[in-house]
């Protein structure tokens, strides 16, 4: 566990965005020994989102402005094998993966952290909008929502455990986004007005077919599929690529006399999309795999809040042997492959992936 008042040697993951830029500046102001490193994760045709060539240049300029050393770690091979390949394979199976969470799991808080420890750093820091608290009866680090609810990123960090959190600093978690930009502007940082990254970093927009379809078509075979009505079992339409359909999707699936159809299940092996009404989309339970716990597993029957997307509405659930059960009525099905973060109040206690 880090000493909250000690001067420590910190390796900051400088992404080239405003949040990590201000995180580095705050640590310097606190008197820490700060070095910056940018992870070069992707070098393909989609080199446009976070971790792009332009972001590396921005990070270098920020480091120069702050007067700290800057390095670039080439993790592109690990990123390909741990994030990109599983992303494509998941779509081939009819699942909807979350590559940003897997990047955090495998690269930003494992590979990067391991490198930092080997180089003699006491901690790593990022610009994520979340907080770490070390107080409590057991003094173990706790992961909390960021102070700015609109920018909270605790969901994408919900797979972290005390192993990582004990060596992680999240300086901007106590700030709102306007406060972050104000600090960056006051320091004349290159990134002060830079827009936030919105898209999957390795999928670039371009002419013609949709970027996700174009990217996946280069890596997996896309198959036309049939749309089958849940109630009648009859074929009611087709989709150009079953691998591109997501559970809960409505667009492109047509409508019936009772209203729009929603994707309920995707069977990639038989190239079938099962559709039904909005009521058919509801479920009482969600099965979870790859469950992780921040401090340790909670018992079956424990009541927590479940959040199924980065800014989704948390809902009360009880933990079951295999997942969670909604307590306030049925909820929409969660697409297989998506993460569900578990909270008690503002504290992340664990997460799992929808089966």
107-127: per-residue pLDDT in tens?
999 999 999 999 999 999 999
- Looking at the structure, tell me whether residues 13 and 112 fall in a common domain: yes
In a domain, 50, yes or no: yes
pLDDT of 255 strictly over 90: no
- Looking at the structure, tell me whether residues 33 and 178 fall in a common domain: yes
- Looking at the structure, tell me whether residues 58 and 175 fall in a common domain: yes
- Looking at the structure, tell me whether residues 336 and 248 fall in a common domain: no
The tens digit of pLDDT for each residue in 193-249 reads: 999 876 688 886 655 568 899 999 999 999 999 999 999 999 999 999 999 999 999
Confidence of residue 5 (pLDDT cuts 50, 70, 90): low
Report the mean per-residue pLDDT for the chain.
93
306 strand-pairing partners: 315, 342
pLDDT of 52 strictly over 90: no
Backbone angles phi, psi at 132, to 5 degrees: -120, 125
- Mean pLDDT over residues 76-100, rounded? 96
51 is catalytic: no
Active-site pick, 50, 51, 100, 201: 201
56-76 burial code (b ≥16 CB/10 A, e <16): bebbbbbbebbebebeebebb
In a domain, 209, yes or no: no
In a domain, 42, yes or no: yes
Query: How confident is the model at residue 46, as a pLDDT?
Result: 46
- Looking at the structure, tell me whether residues 230 and 331 fall in a common domain: no
- Looking at the structure, tell me whether residues 43 and 122 fall in a common domain: yes
Domain interval for residue 267: 223-276
- Looking at the structure, tell me whether residues 120 and 233 fall in a common domain: no
Distance of CA 23 to the CA centre of its chain: 19
Query: How confident is the model at residue 256, as a pLDDT?
Result: 81
Q: How many domains does the chain have?
A: 3
In a domain, 74, yes or no: yes
- Looking at the structure, tell me whether residues 59 and 13 fall in a common domain: yes
Query: How confident is the model at residue 313, as a pLDDT?
Result: 96
Residue 198 vs residue 59, higher pLDDT? 59
The tens digit of pLDDT for each residue in 153-187 reads: 999 999 999 999 999 999 999 999 999 999 999 99
- Looking at the structure, tell me whether residues 107 and 46 fall in a common domain: yes
In a domain, 162, yes or no: no
What share of the chain in percent tops pLDDT 90? 86
103 is catalytic: yes
Active-site pick, 50, 51, 100, 103: 103
- Looking at the structure, tell me whether residues 52 and 182 fall in a common domain: yes
CA pair distance 250, 331, nearest whole angstrom: 16
- Looking at the structure, tell me whether residues 96 and 227 fall in a common domain: no
- Looking at the structure, tell me whether residues 52 and 181 fall in a common domain: yes
């Amino acid at each position: 566990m880090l000493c909250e008042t000690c001067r420590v040697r910190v390796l900051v993951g400088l992404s080239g965005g405003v949040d990590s830029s201000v995180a580095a500046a705050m640590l310097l102001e606190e008197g820490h020994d700060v070095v910056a490193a940018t992870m070069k994760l992707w070098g393909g045709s989609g080199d446009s989102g976070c971790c792009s060539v332009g972001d590396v240049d921005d990070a270098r300029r920020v480091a120069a402005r702050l007067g700290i050393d800057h390095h670039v770690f080439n993790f592109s091979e690990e990123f390909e094998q741990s994030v990109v390949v599983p992303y494509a394979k998941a779509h081939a199976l009819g699942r909807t993966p979350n590559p940003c969470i897997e990047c955090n799991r495998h690269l930003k808080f494992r590979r990067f952290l391991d490198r930092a420890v080997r180089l003699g750093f006491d901690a790593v820091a990022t610009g994520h909008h979340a907080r770490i608290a070390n107080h409590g009866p057991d003094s173990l680090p706790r992961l909390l929502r960021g102070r700015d609810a609109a920018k909270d990123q605790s969901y994408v960090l919900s797979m972290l455990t005390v192993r990582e959190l004990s060596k992680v600093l999240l300086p901007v978690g106590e700030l709102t986004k306007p406060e972050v930009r104000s600090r960056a502007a006051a320091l004349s940082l290159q990134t002060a007005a830079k827009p936030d990254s919105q898209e999957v970093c390795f999928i670039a927009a371009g002419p013609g077919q949709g970027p996700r379809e174009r990217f996946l078509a280069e890596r997996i075979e896309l198959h036309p599929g049939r749309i089958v009505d849940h109630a009648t079992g009859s074929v009611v339409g087709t989709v150009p690529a079953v691998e591109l359909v997501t559970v809960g999707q409505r667009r492109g699936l047509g409508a019936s006399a009772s209203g729009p159809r929603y994707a309920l299940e995707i069977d990639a092996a038989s190239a079938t999309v099962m559709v039904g009404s909005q009521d058919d989309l509801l479920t009482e339970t969600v099965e979870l795999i790859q469950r992780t716990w921040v401090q340790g597993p909670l018992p079956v029957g424990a009541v927590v809040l479940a959040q199924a997307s980065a800014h989704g509405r948390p809902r009360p659930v009880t933990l079951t042997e295999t997942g969670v059960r909604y307590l306030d009525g049925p909820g929409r099905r969660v697409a297989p492959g998506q993460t569900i973060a578990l909270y008690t109040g503002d504290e992340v206690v664990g997460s799992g992936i929808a089966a």
